Amino acid sequence: MDTLAAGKDLYAEKTMTWSIPEADQCLQAAKRSDRVIQIGLQHESSGALADAKKWIQDGLAGKVTQVESWMSRNTPHRKGQWVRPVPPDCTPQNVNWAAFLNGRPERPFDPFKLINWRLFWEFSGGNVTENMVHQIAWIMTALDLPLPSAAYMSGGVFSEKDGREVPDTIAVTLDFPNDTVVTWQSTFNNSRYGLGEHFLGSDGTIEHVAGANDMVRDNSEESTRYFPEKVNRAQGAALTGKSADQNHMANWVECMRTRKTPNASVDIGYRSAIAAHMANLAYKRKERVTLEIAKSAQLPS
């Protein structure tokens, strides 16, 4: 918000905000501004999204009532995901510890938490705000989904008991008011199926997969395909997506010149942030959380 107040265009990393109240404040600030804002949701510039969205708009999928999505990774035993070594020059003399705390309660310098902030609720939203938010934004854009009406999240720290607080095994269910359920499953204990989404429609299935089988060998394969439901599209043919990816940063730069809306606008940044915060709130409360409950909580997710 300080950037907008200074009259500058903005590139803001995902997740767009730390909490639901902050998301509401940022959305209103953006609406009052004429600045070009791009959120760091790079999947919004992908060719796969362009293909999926076109097929959905063309009616090839029919009525989509469910989307399955997943993201899986693995690491060697006793080397938890996200854990990084503390470099020798990570000292109080070289770090602005107060800036890192950013208003949180003062405490002695902790180099491990500084480097491995993703592991702790005080500094991170965990895998939901690190990775799920990318895919949920992708799905919400493809289907033009509004804010979720409810969220539920289960899981825990099951893979490596290394002191982390945020869960490494997750199952999220998001209900949407237009008769659509989106699920997202994630594990840091197996990388076989990589990352992907299945859009399950009455007339067809849209399948996007990335990293399946070859993720650990850095030979990631990505594809977007459509398969007709023969019971409703007897003459339908399978399709393979061919749209090219756009450079996400280049899209922002071009929009600064043209003053057009970039691929990952504040709107999708807002909607995906709310979905992520609702999921985390449901996990912490161990209950299904509606949008109304989440908005009234007034607490960081």
**Are the C-beta atoms of residues 104 and 120 closer than 8 Å to each other?**
no
In the chain the domains, ranked by start, together with CATH numbers, are 10-297 (3.30.360.10)
Task: Give the tens place of pLDDT for each residue, 234-268.
Answer: 999 999 999 999 999 999 999 999 999 999 999 99
Does residue 233 carry a pLDDT above 90? yes
Cα distance between residue 288 and residue 91, in whole Å:
42
Task: Give the tens place of pLDDT for each residue, 198-229.
Answer: 999 999 999 999 875 443 445 557 899 999 99
Task: Give the tens place of pLDDT for each residue, 27-36.
Answer: 999 999 999 9
Pairing relation of β-strands 180-187 and 169-176? antiparallel
Taking the whole predicted model, whether its pTM rises above 0.85 is answered as yes
pLDDT at 216: 43
Phi, psi of 81 (to 5 degrees): -55, 135
Exposed, middle or buried by CB within 10 Å (0-12, 13-18, 19+), for 161?
Answer: exposed
Beta strands in the chain (DSSP E): 10-12, 37-39, 64-72, 150-156, 169-176, 180-187, 195-201, 204-210, 222-228, 239-240, 289-290
Rg (CA), the chain: 20
The single residue listed with the structure tokens 């705000």 is 129
